[in-house]
Every structure is written in C-alpha cells, then in structure tokens.
Structure 1
Amino acid sequence: MKKIRLVSAIASTLSLVGCQSTTGTSPAKLESTGHISQNVYEVEFNAAQAFLAQTSELEQSLSDYCASESKDDVPVKQQWHQTMLAWMALQGQERGPSTALEQSWNVQFWPDKKNTTGRKMSVLTKSDQAWSAEDISTQSVTVQGLGALEWLLYDQASTLSSSSNTCETGVAIAENLDNKAQIIAGSWAENPWKSLEFTEWESEYISLLSNQLEYSMKKLSRPLAKIGKPRPYFSESWRSETSLSNLRANLEAMEALYFANGNGLDLLLREQGHAGLADRVAHQFAMALDTWPEDKSLFAALESKEGYRMVLAQYNKLEQLKYLIHEEVAIELGVVIGFNATDGD
C-alpha cells in the first residue's frame, strides 16, 4: 500500500512539473550531491515544484473563470483544493531554506482565531481599487494566500460570481500566491543540509518530521478544544469542508519523508539495528492512512458526539505516531528534537 502511494505521488509530481508553463520562468534544477540527505532533499524539492505547478494552474483557472460567462466555479474550486493539497507537503516546516520558510504566512494564514481573513477580505473586495499582485503582496497576510482564495470561492459574503472587480482581485491574489510559490521552489534549488555531519543530519531530519507532525496535530487539537466545547471554526478549511482531506495529504507527505524513496529514516533505523521500531512506525503510517475518513467534514463532525469521537480517534492516530518518532526513534538514535515554533502558542 505505501509503495503504491509513494510511486503515485512521485509520478504526479513529475507530471505537474513537466506541464508547468504559465510562470514564464525556468524551473529550478535539482542539486545532485552525495550527501546522506539527498533523498529527503529530493522529496522536498519535488514537493516545492509540485506546489508551484499547482499555483500556476490555479492562477490560470481563476483567470478562465473570470473571463467566462457561465461562471461555473466547479473547475476553479477543484484546482484550489489541488493547490491546497500540494501545500500540505510543505506546511508546518521549521527546517529548510530560510527564504522558503519565510513565505509560510504569506501562503497560508492559520490559525485564524478571530476570522481575520473574513473581515479583511470583506473590506478588500468592497474597495473600488483595481488590485494587482504587487499591491496584494503589501497587504495583510490574511488576504494574500490560500485562505483568502477559499473565502472568495466559498464564503456567502463573496461577490466573486457577480462582480468583475472582485474577480480581478481574486486573480491578483492567485498571481501573488504563484509568485510566493516561485520563491519557495527557487529556494529548494540547493540542498540546505549538504554540509551537515551525520549526527547533525539525523537531528535535523527527525526535527523536520516531528515539527510537521506537531503542526498537523494542532489542526485537530484546536477545533477539538475541550470535550463538549469544540471550536469548529478553528478548523483549517472549514468553509470548503476539506480539513480532513488536507490532513490526509499531510500524512502522505510525512510518510514520503519517512521513507524518502528507500533511503530515509526507515532505512537508517534498520541499518542501526532497530528494524522492529521501523516496522512499528511504518505500520502506524499505513494504518492511519488506510483508516482515515473519506469525504468527511471536520466542521460538521464536531457538531455531534459521534463525530467528535471520530475526530478524536484521528488525533489519537497522530499522537501515537508522534510518540514513536519523538520518543522512541529519537531516543534510540540519540537525537535531541529541535525547538518547534508551534510549541506554546
């Protein structure tokens, strides 16, 4: 099962990168090194390229929507979702090129505790100004990225289908997003870990995986909140009701990082005599993905006791994965997990 998922993801990534043509820039080239981190670096490089390909398609899809008379929003909504899923492979990272990490808030503003996106987007779209991508890049991060486009496509207050000015604003936001994706993809043209010694790389690698896992867990713990008092509006993509499918993409991306095409953490554990532990981690990934709920709305689930229990069960799967990686794997390899910027917030 996991091999099929990984091969499919790689094939999809290569196809997307090969089809990319709307940015007008030459795609970044993968750096080839003999460093132990090479396979993990390649996973990240391909993820960044795939995200760029999707943002380019999203910009074109939104432009086509605005130019059409029918205003059929199904294709552009589907493309927005595909772009969001591609972002999941890079989301929550605390390790990698600083220029790429710096774009995270511009790409996605979350958590949105006070519906800042809704308030800012309402003001932005009511303005008579003709917004350009450059103008958008100087505004609040809440109106620059994926969340802003989700508001345009799904919120009842959006005038995307009835206002040409709102539509052009959406294209400007999509273009700005594509510009940020270009920066991210370009930043991964070099392997940021190629100078690390073996033990330093082990620590960096486990921290990379651990940080992303903890970020994913917060995407469930925030809306779960206290038992009996959930906060569904804290769900990542509550407007489009795609929060759980986003998390599945997070899991698939972390699994890809763990195996790194046969030369990742799984192999490191086995080479150092920890095959049993490697099997348990691999099994936890496979079990979590194979039993992840399909076509379920996190927002809707939290409105019932049965749904709340279902969501809590998904959180427990991630918590077990965290225990295996953060505790058992790190301890067996003698690694101290690096500081995670999401701690304590």
Structure 2
Amino acid sequence: MRLSLPLTLGLLFLAAVAPAAAQEGNALSPGVLDEAALPGVMAKAVDSFIIPGYRDLSQATAELDEKSAALCATPSAETLEETRSAFSDLVQKWSAIEIIRLGPALEQNRFERFLFYPDRKSTGLKQVQAILAKRDESATKTDSLKTKSVAVQGLGALEYVLYGTGAETLTGTEGDFRCRYGTAIAQNLTTIAGELLAAWEKPDGLQPVWKSPSPDNPLFRDNKEAATELLGVLVHSVEMIKDQRLRPFYGGAIDGKTDEGRPKLAIYWRSGNTMRSIAGNLRGLQTLFNVAGMENLLPADSRSIAGSVNFLFKTLIGTAERVEGPIDAALADKKQRSRLDFIALNAADLLDRLNRDFGGAIGLGAGFSFADGD
C-alpha cells in the first residue's frame, strides 16, 4: 500500500520518539508516580473537564429540545434543518464527554439510554421502526419512554427519526407523530444530561471521592488507585475508538483485509457525523490529558512520553477531521481510505503508549494492562 505524505511523516516521527520513550521506561524500572501531584491532577480532571463537559452536554440537549418543539409546532424544511443542526451539535458535545464511562453514567443505564451502540443485530433499529409504524403514543411521553428499551430513547433512535426512512415527512403535518416521538427523546436526553451534571456538581458526592484518595475512600484507597482510574479512562476510550468505532465499518487496515468496508455499521452514518464523532472522542481525551495536567504524574526524566502522546492526539484528530463527506463515499475514495489507514495504525500506537509507556512510567507493575482489564 502506498503511504500518503502525512502518514509517512507520522511514522518517521514515531520511529524517532519511540527509542526515547523506551529508554525512559527501561531507566525507571519500576516507574514512579509523582504522588504529590496526584490530588491536584484529579481535582483538575473533575473541575476543568468533567463538570464543564456535562454542562456543555446539558446546554446542548436543552437546545435540541427547544428546536425539536419548534419543529413540531411549525414543521418546515427550515425548522427541520435547525433541529438536525442541534442534533449534530449534541453529538459533538456528547462525543467529548462520553469517555467518562463510569460512576453516574453507568447507574440507571444512563449511558446506554443516551447512546445505544453498537446495535449489531439491528435490534434497536427494528424497535424504533415498530414505534413509528404502530404510532405508539406511549413513546411520545418521557415518563413512559424512559421505561422502554434503551435502544429507543437515545441518540441512535433520534438520528433515525431525523434522518431515517420517512424523515422527509417532518417538514409537514404528516410527520406529527414522528416529531412528537423525537421531541420526547430530546426531553429524555435533557433529563439524563441534567442528572449526570447534578451528580458531579454535588459537593459531597463524587468530588471529594475523586479529589482525596485515602484508606477510607470508597473508590480510591491510595493515589495509585486514583491514577489507575484516570489513565484507564484514556486507555479504554482509545481502545473503544479503535475496536468499536473504527473496526465495525473499516476492518481492512486493522485486520489486513482489502474489502470495501461496511458503511452502515458506522456510528451516526445517517447524519454524516461518524468521523466528527471520532474526532470529538479524541479531542475530549486530549483535553482531559492536558487540562488535568497528567504530564505532572510522570517522573521528570519521562516527560517526553507526554509529548509523544500529545503529538499522536493532534495528528489523529487532524486526520479524522479530514475524512470528509458520507462515510460510504470516504470508504470508496483512495485518498480518504489512506487517512483511515493512518487512524487505524496510529490509534493502536497511541493505545500502546498510554498503556505501556505512560502506565509503566508512573509505577504500574510489569504486565499490567488496562486494555486487558487487569
């Protein structure tokens, strides 16, 4: 396969930085966590990333709720476009904060209710289509909607309402039921986002648990456990991007195959938000890494690991943003596929650098693997 110039340059850079990272890892065996820096890093993760991220999410859901209601009140091509724009904005806000897949996000099935993916057997799609076909009025009321399958009350269901077969009816009175169902989903998402924000804003809730590791802390008995959780957010999220977001529709570069891909397995393919979402995931991870000051957890002579991690984040984000247009068209275009090749290759390298290099440098023992769930 002929490599594009960005890919070639990226590989040359990584070949240059890899020996330095490896030397640092060998020089510090075992690695050393800067325990004095840990409480401040955890506090910044909460105050400067998690809480602002959920605030942005809450605002985006409220905006979508408002636009959805306006579409139902005055159906037209213009109000449909405004609602779709609000949906895409919400996808961006969610993509940045969905990496915090722990605590309140896991309680009451909030994560799956917000985003049910992957839907490998199209179970959720069939349920959404059934609601629309039967005009199930219980799906238009938030109290009853939230008791239904998680697959019919989140972003995936709303994407189908706004972009799937029959969505053109939303510009007129024929789409009244469909619109009311979509508005109920938007209201449901607003409620979930508000619950997530409230859980993290509560002063005597998760904040002291994250900020003050101690023997009587219910989550983190010491600084090492807290550091493991925080780094695990990055490691598991990169693994998710590589294996759950990229692999389903683009297995070729990862598995050594040359097939043309499976665009309809891509997340948000109907709305064209696939690569924007992946870029948003990566941007959220880089923001967390930097605003929390995770570099400060490293010993002084291992700080270049943070530099190589940031380089990979920046390059992957930029490349994902350059994969343009519908995902089926991107898969059919040689230049676009070379960018997907680059993302697949370097996401695996980023995972290794976080899991092995960074983890090893802050004192996680030999053989420790976030990716394996150890």
Structure ID, larger Rg:
2
Please give the residue correspondences for 1:298-337 in structure 2 after superposition, counting only pairs within 5 Å: 298-335=327-364, 336-337=368-369
DSSP-derived class of the 1:302 partner: helix
- What is the aligned residue count? 307
The answer on 1:202 being equivalent to 2:227 is yes
Contact preservation (8 Å) 2:76, 2:170: no
Inter-partner Cα distance in structure 2 for 1:40 and 1:296? 34
> Where do 4+ consecutive residues of structure 1 move more than 4 Å?
98-101, 337-341
Contact preservation (8 Å) 1:149, 1:170: yes
After TM superposition, the structure 1 stretch with the greater mean CA deviation from structure 2, 218-227 or 49-58, is 218-227
Contact preservation (8 Å) 2:75, 2:170: no
The residue type equivalent to 1:309 in the other structure is S
After superposition, give the CA deviation of every residue in 1:205-238 in whole Å (9 maximum; x if it has no partner).
1111111111111200121124233222110111
After TM superposition, the structure 1 stretch with the greater mean CA deviation from structure 2, 278-287 or 57-66, is 278-287
1 or 2 for the larger relative contact order (CA 8 Å, sep ≥6)? 2
**TM-aligned CA distance change 1:133 to 1:97, over 3 Å:** closer
Contact preservation (8 Å) 1:107, 1:144: yes
DSSP-derived class of the 2:248 partner: helix
Inter-partner Cα distance in structure 1 for 2:335 and 2:160? 29
- Aligned-residue offset at 1:98: 5.7
Inter-partner Cα distance in structure 2 for 1:321 and 1:339? 12
DSSP-derived class of the 1:37 partner: helix
Inter-partner Cα distance in structure 1 for 2:193 and 2:105? 14
Tell me the TM-score normalized by structure 1: 0.82
- Aligned-residue offset at 1:259: 0.7
Inter-partner Cα distance in structure 2 for 1:340 and 1:193? 23
Inter-partner Cα distance in structure 2 for 1:156 and 1:340? 40
Tell me the TM-score normalized by structure 2: 0.76
Structure 1: tracts of 5 or more residues without a match: 1-33
Structure 2 match to 1:235: 266
**TM-aligned CA distance change 1:340 to 1:239, over 3 Å:** farther
Inter-partner Cα distance in structure 2 for 1:129 and 1:97? 30
Structure 2: tracts of 5 or more residues without a match: 1-38, 214-219
Identity %: 22
After superposition, give the CA deviation of every residue in 1:27-48 in whole Å (9 maximum; x if it has no partner).
xxxxxxx654100112111111
Structure 2 match to 1:10: none
After superposition, give the CA deviation of every residue in 1:125-182 in whole Å (9 maximum; x if it has no partner).
1224432011111111111011111101111233433321211111111111111111
Please give the residue correspondences for 1:138-287 in structure 2 after superposition, counting only pairs within 5 Å: 138-158=147-167, 159-161=169-171, 162-189=174-201, 190-191=206-207, 192-194=209-211, 195=213, 196=220, 197-218=222-243, 219-226=245-252, 227-229=257-259, 230-260=261-291, 263-269=292-298, 271-287=299-315
The answer on 1:291 being equivalent to 2:319 is yes
DSSP-derived class of the 2:296 partner: helix
After superposition, give the CA deviation of every residue in 1:54-89 in whole Å (9 maximum; x if it has no partner).
111111110011111434221111100010111112
After superposition, give the CA deviation of every residue in 1:255-289 in whole Å (9 maximum; x if it has no partner).
011112xx4212222x5431221211122222222
